[in-house]
Structures are given as C-alpha cells and as structure tokens.
Structure 1
Amino acid sequence: MRTYRRLILCALGLTLLVVVFGAYVRLSDAGLGCPDWPGCYGQLSPAHAAAPILDAHAADPHGPVSLPKAWKEMIHRYLAASLGLLIIAIAALAWHHRDRPGSAPVAATLLVVVVIFQGLLGKWTVTLLLKPAIVTAHLLGGLATLSLLGWLALRAFERRRLAAGRGLAAAARLGLVLLLAQVALGGWTSTNYAALACTDFPACHGSLWPEADYANAFHVVRELGMTAEGELLSNAALTAIHWSHRLGALVAGGFLLAFGLALLRRPGAGRAGAVLLGLLAGQVALGVANVLLSLPLPLAVAHNAGAALLVLTMVWVNYRLRAGAAVSSQHAAMLRSQPARA
C-alpha cells in the first residue's frame, strides 16, 4: 500500500501541473503549436520537426505555429502521457490491494476511463481546431481527473472524518456543484476569448446589465469565433459570455463565502473553512485584477490554478462531511435503540 499511496500523491501533483500548464498553453495561444496529434508534424518532438515548423512560421509569422509554441504544446502532451501511465499503474495496484482498507479499485478504474476520454478530448482539441465546446470539456476533464485523484488520496490515507449534520453535508455538495458550474463558465469565457469583453469593473461597458446576445453566446456546437450559422461572433455575444461568468461568480462566491464561514464555526472544521475562504478571496482578487490589468499571462494562469485548488478543497470538504453525516446518523440511531434509564 505504501507504493500505492506514493503513486497517488505523485499523480495528484502531476495532474495539478498538467491542468495549470494546459491553461498556460491555451492562454499563450500555443494550442495549435503542433497542428497534428499525437506527434508534431509526424515526429516525436519539435526538434525532429524543426524544418516544417519554421516553414509554417515563415509563411505566417502571426499564426499559431512557431518553434516555442510547438515545444509548449508537446511538453504538455508529454506530461499528460506520463500521467496516463501513472494512473494505469494506480488502478492495477488498487485491484491488487482490493481487500485492504483504503483501496478503491472501482474509483481507480473510473479514473482510467476518464483519462482515456481526456486523451481523446486532447486529440479533438487540435484536430477540430480549438472548438470551444471541446476545449472547455478538456478543461473540465482535467478537473475531474484532479478530483478523483484527490478522493483516492483521502481514501488511501484514511484521513480523519468530521461528524456533521445533514444540512452542512448537503451544503458542501451544493457548493461543489456551484463551483463546477462556475468553472465551466470560466472555461467557456476563456475558450471563446471573452475574458476582455468587459474591461471595466464592477460594471461592464458602464452598465450593470450591458447589452448582450445570450442566444449566440451559448451555442455549444460551433466553430471558434463563429455563430452556429457560421457568422462572426459579435461583441454582444462575447459580452454575454463574460457577464454570465461574473454573475456566476457572484452566486457561487456568495454561497462559498457563507459556507466557509459556517465551517469556521463548526468544531474541527475551522482549518477547512480558513483554507476555503483564503482561496476564495485570492480567486476573486485574481479575477478582478485580470479585468483591470488586461489579462496578463501570469495572473490568468494563476486564476486557472486557483480554480483547480478550490475544486480540490471542496472535494476534501465533501469527503470529510459526507462520511461525518453518516457517522452522526448511525450514532443517533444507536442512542435511540438503547433502553431508557430509570
């Protein structure tokens, strides 16, 4: 089991790196640095494909292909492939130790399925030329991988569980759902290049309800920068995407703020509440700074990293509170079953 636990921790750290580096690749416009898959111009590395890469860059100096962008894209693929092999090893060990406490072979197998599908999404991201729906799904797949690994780590190390009522456990689940919905909106904003559709804050174009085209903003099956009918996506549609992300932040952020404060008041959950509130404050600050400073690359990548850490934190909280709620119910049932004392 020691090797199993160590591999899970390595995979967890590597997944966080892959998610953050993937955001860096996307935000630095290197997503098509190698226009084929899984290699680069049919080669194992950009070093072996330098000639066609340089030719493509010479033909279009402002295009998506250049040697630095190709290296960014391929490094991300190398990291993702290494993660896939690591997860297969984790699943094999989970089944090998399936009779031991802390092993979760079914969840580990589900993780393998998620990673295989994530690899297909990575392929389609390139071959379908950065379709927003595919790129957003790829981001969510990375967070699903991170969440499952976080759950496996908690299970493998048998972390102490917190007794809590059903209300708090239900609030933790709702908080995770709201957070994932907000992350999806953030991914949709990023993959549609709508992060700077509103350049003022807290208003947008000087209004708290700006003119927006929500109908075209959320067509899922379409090309990048185009409507479903093949016309250019308007500024009003980009505004709708951006403003929806801000409204989502208001709803999810407000709920997580209240939930974090509730954790602070719960004995034994204060540290979880403090971590959640700290990450939430940092994420809000990064979001505002990205708008006011015109999306500097380090802050934009940090905003993606903050989202990943928030998701991982809510998985941690849900793991503890869900089990705690069950323990509390069992304890109450035992008390009810005891005969009353005279």
Structure 2
Amino acid sequence: MYKKLVLLTTLLALCVVVLGAYVRLSDAGLGCPDWPGCYGRISPHHAADEIAQAVAILPYGPVSTHKAWKEMTHRYFAGTLGLLIAIIAVWAWRKRDLLAQSPVLPAMLAGLVIFQALLGMWTVTERLKPFIVSAHLLGGMMTLALLVWLAMRQFSGRYRMDQGLVGSLRGWAGLGLLLVFLQIALGGWVSSNYAALACAGFPQCNGVWWPEMDFSHAFGLVRELGMTADGDFLPREGMTAIHWVHRLGAYLILLYAGGLAFRVMRIRSLRGVAWIVIALLLTQIALGISNVMLNLPLPVAVAHNGVAALLLGAMVMLNFRLSLGRDQAV
C-alpha cells in the first residue's frame, strides 16, 4: 500500500507541475489575488460577487471567473499533494522498521512542500515577482524529483548493477542532473519574465547570431515584474539576454545529456532509460523551437514545461539506477 501511495503521489506531483505551468502561461496567477482562498472564500463560486466587482473595475485585468477557477484548481491539487506527502512522511517514520527505509527523504519532502506552499502564497501576495515565481516552479520540480527517487527506492530490489560498469558514469550522470535542473531554472526565468518571444526566429535571434543583449539587468533577482532593480522598465535587450542564455543552455543540454545517454547504452540494463532520455531531449528541443516559430501557443508552451519535468524525472531515474550498490539509507 505504501508503494502505491508513493506512486500515486509522484503522478500527482507531475500533474501539479503541469497545472502550475498552465496557470502561469494563461496569465491566471492572480486570478484569485489572495491566499489560500479566493477573496477569502473556499472557491470562485462562493466569491462570484467579489470577482464580478473586480472585473467591472478592470475588464481586462488579471481577475476573471475562468482565471480564478484555473488558479484555485491548481491550489486544490497542490493541497492534496501536500496532504499525501504528509501521510507518506508519517507512515515512513512510524513504519520505518517494517519498510526498512530511512524516513529522512519523506521528512525532507514534507519540509519542502511546506516551503513550496509559502512560495505559492508569496507568488500571489508579491504580485508575480520573477524570483518568487521561478523559485515556486523550481520547488515543484524538486518535489517531483525527490518523489521519483522515493518511488524508485520502492523497487530497488529489482535492479542489480555491475559496479565496475557504472562507477565511472555516476559523476557524469550527477552533473547531467544538475545541468538539467539549472536549465529548468533558466526556463523558469524566461517564463516568469515573459521573455519567451524576445528572440524571433530560429536558429538565429532577431535575424542575427549574437543579438544585442543587456546582461546587467537580465538576471537581477530583487525586482518587480517587467522592471529593473532601479525601478526602470526592463529593456528589451534584457529580455533578449534572458531568452538567448536559455537557448544556449538547451544546446549544451542536448550535447551533454545526449552524449551521456549514448555512453549509458553500453550497459544493457540501462538502455531503456537512456532511450527515454534521448526521446525526451529531442521532444523538448522540438517543442522549444515550436514555441518560437508558432508564437507561443498555449498547448505547446505547457507541453514544453511538462516534458522538462519528465526529463528531470528521467535523469533522476538514471542517477538512482547508477547509485545502486551504494548505501541506500537516505
């Protein structure tokens, strides 16, 4: 039963990540401008009068009934995820001898999901500040990654690795996981700054190979959305820098993770995971190009976020498989 609960929670975490991307990309992040309810109510249905007043004041503002439902649906799913993680943490602690697993990882997940809830609150109350929005996205990705590791641990008895074959790959796989996570962070920064279309065309950016960029303002963390730390409007060159760095990161990930996957294929038992990594890499690159060439259609943009989550999960799976034979206490 514990295994099934962990698997269900992992699947739900993926859904929450995708839902969060959908809310963000459809500009529904402020659909309910307070937290945890919607105008202090349990649902947009119960806050219909307040929403109608907000729409009357700003007809094209951030609040509308359908945006409120998008935001609250994400919160309902996230709340359910938090509850399931809490159950896993308590179960893992109380049944640690029976499970023969350390409860440290479930406890870490419980702490992370509490912090993630705070980030969700600050995302709304701080009016979508890019740093907080990006941190919230990364918190969701970290939650998913830890759940994938926990899920893999439930089936670790099925896998046995030749330590002589995998020893040299562990460090490279760990670096690959870190690079994928950093690339997701760059993608989150692109999204939270609305820089997805700052570079027109592919493979060039705005018709040139090295566009004019402003790095001094592009990666300032403490600032309002669309503004510099000095309170001026974020220049277009800053948006271009954000986008172009993410695009360069994609090339690096394709080469590094793709090369790693081909090296891993030498190990018969890991070929399946390696092919998954390659397939997700190619899909992700295609989705990224489509976002630019098709003017950021919502389904493609959401899929780009979802495949990023799957790629992170695949890299976690690869690292877990390569770690077998070491101390599995954590």
Distance change >3 Å, CA 129–CA 162, structure 1 → 2: same
Q: Which residue of 1 aligns with 2:52?
A: 54
1:7 pairs with 2:5:
yes
User: For the Cα contact (< 8 Å) 1:34–1:65, is it kept in 2?
Assistant: yes
58-67 or 106-115, larger mean C-alpha shift? 58-67
The TM-score normalised by the length of structure 1 is 0.93
Q: Which amino acid aligns with 2:275?
A: A
Q: Which residue of 1 aligns with 2:119?
A: 121
Q: Name the CA distance, whole Å, in 1 between partners of 2:6 and 2:115.
A: 20
Instruction: Report 1:18-33 matches (<5 A).
Output: 18-33=16-31
The one of 122, 139, 142 aligned to 1:141? 139
Q: Which residue of 1 aligns with 2:242?
A: 241
Q: Name the CA distance, whole Å, in 2 between partners of 1:108 and 1:68.
A: 35
Looking at CA atoms only, which structure, 1 or 2, has the larger radius of gyration? 1
CA deviations over 1:35-87 (Å, ceiling 9, x no partner) = 00001011110001001101111211111000000000001001111111111
Q: Name the CA distance, whole Å, in 1 between partners of 2:118 and 2:161.
A: 38
Residue 15 of structure 1 deviates from its aligned partner by 0.4
User: For the Cα contact (< 8 Å) 2:43–2:72, is it kept in 1?
Assistant: yes
User: For the Cα contact (< 8 Å) 2:120–2:136, is it kept in 1?
Assistant: yes
Q: Which residue of 2 aligns with 1:45?
A: 43
1:310 pairs with 2:308:
no
Q: Name the CA distance, whole Å, in 1 between partners of 2:148 and 2:319.
A: 11
User: For the Cα contact (< 8 Å) 2:92–2:99, is it kept in 1?
Assistant: no
259-268 or 283-292, larger mean C-alpha shift? 259-268
Residue 102 of structure 1 deviates from its aligned partner by 5.2
* SS of aligned partner of 1:258: helix
Q: Name the CA distance, whole Å, in 2 between partners of 1:206 and 1:98.
A: 59
Residue 95 of structure 1 deviates from its aligned partner by 1.0
Q: Which residue of 1 aligns with 2:231?
A: 230
Q: Which residue of 1 aligns with 2:191?
A: 190
* SS of aligned partner of 1:268: helix
User: For the Cα contact (< 8 Å) 1:260–1:277, is it kept in 2?
Assistant: yes
Q: Name the CA distance, whole Å, in 1 between partners of 2:189 and 2:286.
A: 20
User: For the Cα contact (< 8 Å) 2:92–2:106, is it kept in 1?
Assistant: yes
1:268 pairs with 2:266:
no
Residue 178 of structure 1 deviates from its aligned partner by 0.5
Q: Name the CA distance, whole Å, in 2 between partners of 1:161 and 1:200.
A: 47
Distance change >3 Å, CA 56–CA 161, structure 1 → 2: farther
Instruction: Report 1:202-221 matches (<5 A).
Output: 202-221=203-222
Q: Which residue of 2 aligns with 1:258?
A: 259
Q: Which amino acid aligns with 1:80?
A: A
Q: Which amino acid aligns with 1:279?
A: L
* SS of aligned partner of 1:265: coil
Q: Name the CA distance, whole Å, in 1 between partners of 2:99 and 2:42.
A: 41
Residue 265 of structure 1 deviates from its aligned partner by 2.4
Q: Name the CA distance, whole Å, in 2 between partners of 1:225 and 1:245.
A: 18
Q: Name the CA distance, whole Å, in 2 between partners of 1:200 and 1:134.
A: 29
Q: Which residue of 2 aligns with 1:84?
A: 82
Residue 155 of structure 1 deviates from its aligned partner by 1.0
99-108 or 276-285, larger mean C-alpha shift? 99-108
Residue 291 of structure 1 deviates from its aligned partner by 0.4
Stretches of structure 2 that go unaligned for 5 or more consecutive residues are none
Q: Which amino acid aligns with 1:245?
A: H
Residue 165 of structure 1 deviates from its aligned partner by 3.2
CA deviations over 1:232-274 (Å, ceiling 9, x no partner) = 0010000000000001111122101101111222222111111
Stretches of structure 1 that go unaligned for 5 or more consecutive residues are 328-342
Q: Which residue of 2 aligns with 1:169?
A: 170
Q: Which amino acid aligns with 2:34?
A: D
Residue 115 of structure 1 deviates from its aligned partner by 0.2
Q: Which amino acid aligns with 2:180?
A: L
Q: Which amino acid aligns with 1:134?
A: I
User: For the Cα contact (< 8 Å) 1:102–1:157, is it kept in 2?
Assistant: no
Structure 1 segments, 4+ long, off by >3 Å, are none
The size of the alignment, in residue pairs, is 324
The TM-score normalised by the length of structure 2 is 0.96
